[in-house]
């Protein structure tokens, strides 16, 4: 007796088994990706997103946590690009998290990197007028380099303009004359180097003699003072010895007066040297003109 085979059931069983095998292979190939739950976030980029494509990865501190679902211009502001990100639920996207545009190596393939997110910061939630939570953005490395390069070129241009303004035709001629004068002065100094050296040696000797004279000046002042005191004592003794002599010896009295004047003069010289020792070398300074004398000259 022959058994009848239902080819329809066999075909359906084969198709079902193939679909199950394909589903298993896809699940294994995607590491269970389709079983994960994702949350949507908006990101608004103010710079070019060249190199960023749909399904580009979204990484959090280097770990892939989602992908870019949609890229389009912001309907409310054409100067911004609106990105729709799908990020695994449970990823700590905080209020202080920042989305950055990064490029993988030298391939030029761009992706979105999430940075920041302190422990104390609360999780990011959508506001009342937002469809999805909005992640703040920061400048990419290329944007920072472009800004820095632009500023550098601007500063170089300004510096070049300032240099050109300073080194105009008149200033260049003045600078050239200054260099010529410096060269001439250098030649004169080189030609008179011997005289300059001799003058310096003479100045050193003069300073040496001045120092020696200053050192001996104290003893000279002291000896002048002692001489004045001795003359004064001699005058006093002579005066006492002649006090009882009659008027017939008036000449001796005149000599006594002259000795006293000499003693007073020596004492004044001694006092002057004590107040201003330089007077021994340079003489007595000229007195300042009195009232009315300056205008009369």
For residue 216, the model assigns a pLDDT of 60
Best CA proximity match to 120, nearest among 92, 81, 142: 92
- In the chain, pLDDT over 70 holds for what percent of residues? 62
**DSSP string for residues in 40-93:** EEEEEESS--TT--TT-EEEETTEEEEEEEEEEEETTEEEEEEEEEEEETT---
- Mean pLDDT is highest, among 79-83, 115-119, 227-231, 233-237, for 79-83
The pTM (predicted TM-score) of the whole model is 0.44
pLDDT in tens, 118-127: 888 888 888 8
């Amino acid at each position: 007796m022959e058994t009848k085979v239902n080819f329809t059931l066999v075909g359906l069983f084969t198709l079902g088994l193939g679909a199950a095998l394909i589903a298993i292979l896809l699940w294994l190939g995607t590491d269970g990706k389709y079983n994960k739950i994702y949350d949507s976030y908006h990101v608004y980029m103010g710079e070019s997103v060249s190199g960023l494509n749909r399904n580009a990865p979204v990484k959090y501190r280097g770990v892939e946590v989602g992908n870019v679902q949609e890229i389009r211009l912001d309907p409310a502001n054409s100067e911004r690009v609106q990105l729709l990100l799908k990020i695994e639920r449970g990823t700590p996207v905080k209020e202080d998290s920042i989305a950055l545009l990064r490029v993988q190596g030298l391939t030029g393939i761009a992706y979105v990197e999430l940075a920041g997110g302190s422990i104390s910061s609360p999780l990011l939630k959508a506001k009342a007028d937002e469809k999805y939570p909005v992640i703040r953005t920061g400048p990419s490395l290329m944007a920072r380099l472009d800004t820095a390069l632009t500023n550098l070129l601007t500063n170089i241009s300004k510096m070049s303009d300032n240099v050109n303004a300073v080194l105009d035709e008149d200033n260049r001629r003045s600078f050239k004359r200054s260099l010529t004068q410096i060269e001439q002065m250098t030649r004169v100094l080189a030609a008179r180097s011997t005289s300059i050296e001799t003058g310096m040696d003479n100045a050193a000797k003069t300073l040496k003699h001045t120092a020696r004279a200053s050192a001996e000046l104290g003893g000279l002042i002291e000896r002048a003072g002692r001489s004045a005191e001795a003359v004064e004592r001699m005058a006093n003794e002579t005066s006492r010895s002649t006090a009882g002599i009659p008027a017939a010896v008036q000449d001796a009295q005149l000599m006594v007066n002259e000795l006293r004047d000499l003693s007073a003069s020596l004492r004044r010289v001694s006092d002057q040297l004590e107040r201003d020792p330089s007077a021994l070398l340079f003489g007595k300074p000229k007195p300042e003109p009195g009232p009315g004398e300056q205008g009369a000259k």
